[in-house]
Every structure is written in C-alpha cells, then in structure tokens.
Amino acid sequence: MKTGIYLAVILGAVLLGVQAQAADGARKEVPLIAAQYETRSIQLARRPQASRHRWHLLRSARQVEVWNAGESQRQRWQRADPGAIEYSHLFTGARKSVDYTAGDLRSLGRYPDWKQLTGVIDPAVLRQLTRSGQVAVLGRQAERYLGQVNGVDMEIWWLAEVQLPALVRRVYGDREVSIHLLDLQTGEAVSPSFADSGDYDHLDYADLGDLEADPFVQQLQLAEGGHRHH
C-alpha cells in the first residue's frame, strides 16, 4: 500500500524552497514556549490571489507539536536523544495516532533537523543573510536580517532570546510567501498544552499496509495529497 506521511512543512528549507547545510551541534535546553503564526501567500498576477492561515507551535526541550487553527489534528516530534527523532500524526477528534520511528522517517527521506523543528527555519539560512538593525515585536527586540539565499530575496526578524522568527518573508518572481508571529508565550505563562495521547489508539506506520480494510486507514489514503501543511 502506498501511504503518505503527513509531516508539517515548517517554513524554512522546505516551504521556502531553500536548501542549506546546517552545522551539527545540539541546541541548549529551552523552556516551554508557545507561538501562534500566520502564513500568508500572495500571487501577483492579472488576477491577484492571496491566502492565509494560522497555526500553532508548542515546544519543550525534547518535544514539538504543530497544528493548524481550528483543525482536530496535530503533528508531534519527540527526541529521545540527538540521534533518535520520532514523529506522530495525532488525530485528536478520533483519538488515534499514526506513529513513525526514526527508521521510518529515514527510509521515507523525511528525517528532520531538530534545530529547524524547534526554530522554524534552517539555522544555516540565517547565517547566509546580513544583519540590518533591530525591530520591536510583541515587546521584544528582534534582529533583522536581509539578503539572498540561492538567488531568492529573504527577510527574517529573529528573536534570539527564544530562538524563533517573528517574521520570515521570501519574494520570488510574482509570489511572496511569509509567516508572521502573532502571539508568544513562555514558561509559566504558556496556556496551550501538549495533546494527551496516552489513551489513543496507536498505529505503527510500518503496519499500515496490513490494515487496508480499516476505515480509518482508508480515510488516510483518501486524504493523501489533499491535506494542507504549514
């Protein structure tokens, strides 16, 4: 059975179409952080088109969850150690989870960079831009970076204190794609919580081929290619 993997496309090397090699090295432990973003896409043509949607990121030192506003699905990455990242696609309404081991992710060519998961953008992209002053965002000071990466004009407002972007803008041709930080909570002020999946029905990705008659798995197959990512 051909079954897709519903990984969130974090705005960075994937969504922006920018590829850069990041240096190895673990990021220091960070407190619980919750961020709300809005992704905006503008196509300038004879009939201009624009779209936007909001999504959430919840991050601890060893876990990241991402979900679109108003949807009953979440995407979770967990790191047992620097070399073992596992992924779960949580269906909070159905109380089911499709779980991928580190080996599954590698075989699918989807093993992520932990720094990019926790920081939204590829750190190597930031290093290719030039610092250009500071801007105030949500009561914090962000470092503004400008430049080109692989010939693409980019602008990033980087909140070094929390290792997250307040703005990422990419302009190429007649299209602009950007994300905007709308809200940020840290430490004890964080109100969202990680999904409690302890009582979920957990399905191993490797076993889905044996479950083609399961209605839930059939729905996954039908949804393949049609699920909106970040």
**DSSP classification of residue 89:** E
Q: Considering only CA atoms, which of 178, 166, 131 is closest in space to residue 15? A: 178
83 Rama sector, left if φ>0, alpha if ψ -120 to 50, beta otherwise: alpha
The domain defined by 33-205 carries CATH number 2.50.20: yes
Pairing status of strand 96-100 against strand 201-204: parallel
| DSSP code at position 26 | P
Q: Report pTM.
A: 0.81
Residue boundaries of the structural domains of the chain: 33-205
Could you tell me if 181 and 137 are in contact, meaning their C-beta atoms sit under 8 angstroms apart?
yes
Burial, 30: exposed, middle or buried (Cβ in 10 Å; 0-12, 13-18, 19+)? Answer: middle
Classify residue 95 by burial, with Cβ atoms within 10 Å: 0-12, 13-18, 19+.
middle
Tens-binned pLDDT, residue by residue, of the chain (230 aa): 433 333 443 433 334 434 333 333 344 555 799 999 999 999 877 777 889 999 999 999 999 999 999 999 999 999 987 679 999 999 998 999 999 999 999 999 999 999 999 999 988 899 999 999 999 999 999 999 999 998 899 999 999 999 999 999 999 888 899 999 999 999 888 998 999 999 998 988 887 776 777 778 877 766 664 343 34
Q: Token pair for residue 32?
A: 């619980």
